[in-house]
Amino acid sequence: MAQLPWLLQSWQELHKIPVNPFLSLLFIFSFLYVLKRILRSAKSNLPPSPPKLPIIGNLHQLGTLPHRSFRSLSKKYGPVMLLHLGHAPSLVVSSADMAREVMKTHDITFSNRPRTTAANILLYGCTDIGFASYGEYWRQARKICVLELLSLRRVQSFQYVREEEVILLTSRIRESCLKQTSVNLSEMFFTTSNNIVSRCTLGQKFEGGDGKSRFAQLARRVMVLLTAFCVRDFFPSLGWIDVLTGLIPSLKALVREIDPFLDQVIEEHKIMRGDDHDQPNKKAFVDILLQLQEEGKLDYEFTQDNLKAILLDMFVGASETSSTIMEWLMAELIKNPNIMKRAQEEARRVVGNKLKIDENDIDQMVYLKCIIKETLRLHPALPFLIPRETSARVKFGSYDIPSETRVYVNVWAIQRDPKIWERPEEFLPERFIDNPIDFKGQDFEFLPFGGGRRGCPGLAFGLASVEYVIANMLCWFDWRLPTASVKGQDLDMGEVYGLTVGRKIPLHLVPTLHSP
């Protein structure tokens, strides 16, 4: 009771201080907002999470191969796990059932993309297909690509490009057969994939005197920088560090090279537009986009920067994924000579005495298709796809997932899940014989191209190149490692992480021309 007079005096003194009504309201609303966030957090049922360090959270637990790190953590914390990567809350999904929740049950909520610094700079404000935010622009851009650029009819129309580039590839390999020297199949597959995509996308290869494509070299730099560690993406207030490390200057310098190059290509195709009416089935993607724009058939007003973003997106995505798949496939066949022999026998039986493989031949190579599926299962080019982001708060299974949470579906882990796949670490193409499981995004235990709205629209385009190139490799040549004493099972299968997960060591093999 002795303190009562002091309290009354303090209250009276407090009321003598003039108070700004606006500041009072601001204080009240701020207090209520903070209280609401605290109460919501208390009620939220978040997924399990590994212990985190101050500031960096769980970043130190990723390692050099994040898909493997994610799987190791998920074995301890479960198939739905929340990581704190700097300031970015990240949901990691490692089971087929929960992947179905992401790509089917809650597909719209999980269809957004986090806007990374590199993608924003290199892809014209993320106005491509892969990194664009979910919304009307993305829907219209994807619709154009699916219907006009990547339809089955359009993919078939580019068969002549695949045939011509594979002829050049097999000719180079035949020269090595005569010399009895090894070839760098990794580099050859990359060059061939780039040439096919460049001709289909931009109408030509842009080869220099050394036989290398200038645009392919630019695209490879795009692939490297898209996955470079960017401080701003995890610590927004520390973005200035990316300037000091040289990342931002490197991104802007690359844009200064790519932008005028694409402008020149588009301008040249605008000038030549009147000369291609006699070959409507041989138009490059850039010609098709310009025609749609000229005829007013686009439902959305696409600027030149939008067109450049879409062209660059398709080039980077299609060339790298295709060559990576082919590289892993041939490596697995070298490690498994009995499977290689069976595939070669099938290809040679189907082709017979013909001098060239055609599309109908590919349709009959059932075992080859199983080999491709098994390669995609063990070595998906994008092991956890491009990250998604929640556009709203969502109930996910029994958990509450906040808005703007990044989402990684670990396809690599799902496709090696022993609960789904028998002997999951072994290369067994026979598992797909008479097996209805496909990679078109409806079977959530097998998602090398993703699923739902953000599934890869270029599936048919990339697959056509892989099937045709590999069929020729198996039909016309026999293969061995450079050193006869080294066995296939000793082949280094180490991985290197980038936009795709490729082989750490390039694949060098010695070809021998097949003699019937």
CB 411 within 8 A of CB 382: yes
- φ, ψ for residue 90 (rounded to 5)? -135, 125
Q: Which amino acid is at 144?
A: I
CB 101 within 8 A of CB 396: yes
- Ligand-binding site membership of 230 (annotated): no
Q: What is the 3-state secondary structure (H, E, C) of 283-306?
A: CCHHHHHHHHHHCCCCCCCCCHHH
Q: Which residue has the tokens 């590919």?
A: 362
Q: Which amino acid is at 240?
A: W
**SS3 breakdown of the chain: % helix, strand, coil, rounded to 5?**
55, 10, 35
Q: Which amino acid is at 392?
A: A
CA distance 134 to 124: 16
Listed residue (467, 454, 458) closest to 154, CA to CA: 458
CB 111 within 8 A of CB 452: yes
CA distance 9 to 12: 5
CA distance 171 to 466: 18
CA distance 74 to 260: 45
Beta bridge partners of 183: 509
CB 511 within 8 A of CB 177: yes
- What residues are designated binding site for heme? 456
Q: Please enumerate, by residue number, every residue annotated as part of a binding site.
A: 456
